[in-house]
Amino acid sequence: MAPSLTRREALGGAAAALIVASCGGGDPPPSTGPRPGSGAALLGSLLALEHAAVAAYAACGEVLRGDVLRNTRSIAQQEREHVTRLQGLIRDLGGEPPSGRSSEEYARTFPRLREPGDALAFAEDLEQRQVRGYLEALAELPDLALRNAAAEIGADEGAQLAAVRVLHGLPAAQGPFVTGAL
């Protein structure tokens, strides 16, 4: 029997495609300024993902209403604050932060969001990828202050992931280890 994709899996696949599109060769590199191994390139990848998340929440807002919409707007505001923080960190390293794409460009990579459940499933996949991105950065960033910033933003993303799950009627935490384990 041919394997079939659930709607949720399809949305997750779309989120994965979004991440690849957002962080891959289509975006300009952060800069030629920072020294190799400074962490600027990695921060640039995280910033590209944050830009995509801001655009994604705007798209989700088209199909969300009421309290769920208010909460996802709060999440989007936090993502904008992460953008500002990452831009500052990259500049401090002597780099030029990558700018985001146009909303039209992002929209082409997003799944079709027909109802609130689609938007929240998309948002959950996006948040999972953001959490994973920051946790992976913890292992790779060379400087304590940069790792501290990544951990702080990662904790925000963990809370956002949980909030999206609660808004979707799911338990806040999927398990004891959000990604990976000791």
Partner 1 sequence: MAERSDVDVLEDLLALEGRLISAYEAALRREAIDVGLGETLRDHEREHARGIEDALRHAGRRSPRASVPSPELTAALRTPESFAGFALDLEAEAVASYIEAAAAIQNPRLRQPLGSIMACEAAHEVALREAVGERVLVD
| Residue of the chain from 115, 148, 168, 169 that contacts partner 1 (CB under 8 A) | 148
Question: How far apart, in whole angstroms, are the C-alpha atoms of residue 72 and residue 123?
Answer: 9
Asked if residues 115 and 63 have their Cβ atoms less than 8 Å apart, the reply is yes
Question: How far apart, in whole angstroms, are the C-alpha atoms of residue 52 and residue 156?
Answer: 17
21 interacts with partner 1 by CB under 8 A: no
Binding mask 54-83 for partner 1 (x = CB under 8 A): -----------------x--xx-xx-----
φ/ψ of residue 167, rounded to 5: -60, -25
177 interacts with partner 1 by CB under 8 A: yes
Tokens of 85: 């923080």
Alpha helices (runs of H) in the chain, residue ranges in sequence order: 7-23, 40-61, 66-92, 103-109, 116-140, 144-167
Binding mask 115-134 for partner 1 (x = CB under 8 A): ----------------x--x
Q: How many residues does the chain have?
A: 182
Stretch that binds partner 1, among 48-56, 58-66, 90-98, 158-166 (CB under 8 A): 158-166
Enumerate binding residues for partner 1 (CB under 8 A): 71, 74-75, 77-78, 131, 134-136, 138-139, 144, 147-148, 150-152, 154-163, 165-167, 171-173, 175-182
